Amino acid sequence: MSFKLKIRLFEDNHKPKLMALDFIKYIGPGFLVTVGFIDPGNWASNISAGASFGYELLWVVTFGTLILIVLQHNAAHLGIVTGYCLSEAATFYIKPIITKLALASATLAAVSTAMAEILGGAIALNMLFKIPIKIGAILILILVLWMIFTNSYKKLEKWIIGFVSIIGLSFIIELSLVNVNWGSTLVGLVRPSFPPNSILIVMSVLGAVVMPHNLFLHSEIIQSRQFNLESEAVIKKQLKYEFADTLFSMLIGWAINSAMVIIAAATFFSKHIQINELQQAQQMLTPLLGPMAAIIFAVALLLAGISSSVTAGMAGGSIFAGIYGEPYDIEDFHTKMGVAITFIAAVVIIFLTSNPFKGLVYSQMFLSIQLPITIFLQIYLTSSKKVMGKFANDKLLKATLWFIGIVVTALNLVLLYDAIK
């Protein structure tokens, strides 16, 4: 089959059915992405950051969110303009050997993410009902598989928006219970700082906020809006609405992640309490803030684990299907295989992990290591006129993306140096 014929066939798979919708109907894809960076891995990284370094690493959440807004909009831009997700576009437009290596690493990132999400949900079940971690992981896996294999995008978006709302409300309640140093908070949010021995946590927080699997996911789910790819005016309108959805959703994620660090700083760092596991954080909250705070903490963690596991599985399915030049379709064999591989590998890792808390932190660190690969892959595709036509990145956006890629790579090199010195 010729390359052009393949392109035509896959364009038919993404052919839109509906015209532009009102802005309120565009809310959804951004929230599916947002839940990916308020997942249990974030909880572990953020609590470590706040408990160990107080308010000093809040800037990483701010910096990561700014990067995230640019990258996620750019990834969604690719999906809107081409009708392909990042994985499909790489398969069509990049040399096979490069594509296979990049997408193999992205699959590992999805597995790493799914491991953190399922593990976090299992930890929450242990907190609430004393269910052993490994049994809890299987229960979360069964629930998430049911959600993915029986729900459409539209239904999943409603679930996720509900979960994010409850998680956000939970942290507002938690914030109202602690004595926050708001002066130090404001400084920490904007002033870069690298306290001694903080680079691992810095990279973990960054990897927890800017997650490579979310870039693949956003470029895929944005197509669930059935965009009219044949009309330039409609594409421009979609890009405007999509950016509003992305910006709004990412800012909510920034607020929730910042609240996690602030609560840990106010509760644990101020009292010189070191946290080595999420269960310990919950137990410490009870005498400090009362039993209701610990329950809210556990329920929010459970919801975060469930919802982010769904998005990790969807990302794994999208990446794997894209290797075969196919869109995400839960009825399709390759999508099912991608979801299954992601979750089975994740659960196997959980069963082999002796320290769940460290497993969460290191999983996020791995995401930061893989991130430059996905960023440079995305830059190439969205800057190419062959791929994007007149909607290719302009010089300013291209320079911004390259700056982001270089900074993330430099931070990874610092982490490597810190590990071997």
Please state the domain extents for the chain.
Answer: 46-420
DSSP track, 210-233:
S-HHHHHHHHHHGGGG---TT-HH
User: For the CA atoms of 56, 61, 64, 69, what is the dihedral angle to 10 degrees?
Assistant: -150
Distance CA 319, CA 402 (A): 23
What Å distances lie between residue 83 and 221, 334, 383, 414, CA to CA?
Answer: 10, 19, 16, 37
What does the pLDDT profile of the chain (421 residues) look like in tens digits? 554 444 444 444 544 444 334 444 555 566 667 766 677 777 778 888 999 999 999 999 999 999 999 999 999 999 988 889 999 999 999 999 999 999 999 999 999 989 988 988 998 899 899 999 999 999 999 999 998 988 765 676 677 777 777 877 787 787 888 899 999 999 999 999 999 988 888 888 887 778 888 899 888 878 654 455 556 776 777 777 788 888 888 898 899 889 989 989 998 898 888 876 666 666 666 666 667 777 887 888 888 888 889 889 999 999 999 999 999 999 999 999 999 999 999 999 999 888 776 777 677 677 778 889 999 999 999 999 999 999 999 999 999 999 999 998 888 788 767 766 6
Distance CA 221, CA 152 (A): 11
CATH of domain 46-420: 1.20.1740.10
CA 37 to chain centre: 4
Residue 302 dihedral angles phi and psi, to the nearest 5° = -60, -45
CA 125 to chain centre: 22
User: Residue 331, exposed/middle/buried by CB under 10 A (0-12, 13-18, 19+)?
Assistant: exposed
Amino acid at 110: A
- H or E element that contains 112: helix 96-129
Both tokens of residue 147?
């959600």
Is the whole-model pTM more than 0.75? yes
Both tokens of residue 171?
């942290």
Q: What per-residue confidence (pLDDT) applies to 20?
A: 37
DSSP track, 144-161:
HHHHHHH--HHHHHHHHH
Q: What per-residue confidence (pLDDT) applies to 169?
A: 79
Torsional sign, CA 279, 281, 287, 293 = negative
Q: What per-residue confidence (pLDDT) applies to 26?
A: 53
Residues 153 and 221 sit within 8 Å (Cβ to Cβ)? yes
Residues 415 and 203 sit within 8 Å (Cβ to Cβ)? yes
Long-range contacts from 175-178, C-beta under 8 angstroms, 24+ separation: 175/259, 175/262, 175/263, 177/289, 177/290, 177/293, 178/262, 178/263, 178/266, 178/267, 178/289
Both tokens of residue 329?
């379709």
Q: What per-residue confidence (pLDDT) applies to 277?
A: 65
